[in-house]
Each structure stands twice: as C-alpha cells, then as structure tokens.
Amino acid sequence: MATTSAVESTLKTLAAGNPKPDRETLRAALVSAGIPEANVEVSVSRTPTGLEVDAMEAAALAGESCVMGQIRDGGVVVTVLPVLATGKCFVGDSR
C-alpha cells in the first residue's frame, strides 16, 4: 500500500534530478517505488493547447485514502485526502 513517506521521497528524488518531469516519468517513478500501477494517477503534463503545465500532480490510492503529491518548480508538497465516491483520487478521465 502506498504511504505518504514513499510518495514524498520518490517525488523529492525525481524533482531533484528533473524539476519538471513529464507524466510518464512521474508514473514510472511511483511504480518503481513499489506502488501498484493500477493505484497510480498522474495529471497531464501538457495543456490542450500544447503548453507545459505549471505543476504536476500525482496520487497513490491507499485504501480509503489518496496520497496526493505535487511537483512545482522542483518543490514537492504531499498531503492525504479521502478517496472520491468514484473510487479514484482525481476528478475527470485523464489518469
């Protein structure tokens, strides 16, 4: 099960080497840290107009909680939120 410390350490390590990782790099780092791929959700790294996003968001489903992480300009913030009624961490269809 995903833990706050595992997500936070993974994101900090990733951000130290790449302050603006893309979607697949972020997903791969979390999966490599032992979080099941089916439990990982990652935001898009480009806007619909092709611009780079200001921040990347990732979530790891952990039971009834979502460990949410954000990388913005090389900084990392992690928090824990409840799972949505859909059983997912993110709203919408891009995961």
pTM here is: 0.88
pLDDT for 1: 46
C-beta of residue 78 within 8 angstroms of C-beta of residue 93: no
**Mean pLDDT, residues 35-62:** 93
pLDDT for 13: 96
**Mean pLDDT, residues 5-29:** 95
What is the separation of C-alpha 78 from the centre of its chain, rounded to a whole number of angstroms? 9
**For residue range 54-92, what is the model confidence (pLDDT) as tens digits?**
999 999 999 999 999 999 999 999 999 999 999 999 987
Q: Where are the alpha helices (DSSP H) in the chain?
A: 4-17, 23-32
Q: What is the mean pLDDT of the chain?
A: 92
**For residue range 1-14, what is the model confidence (pLDDT) as tens digits?**
458 999 999 999 99
One-letter amino acid of 91: V
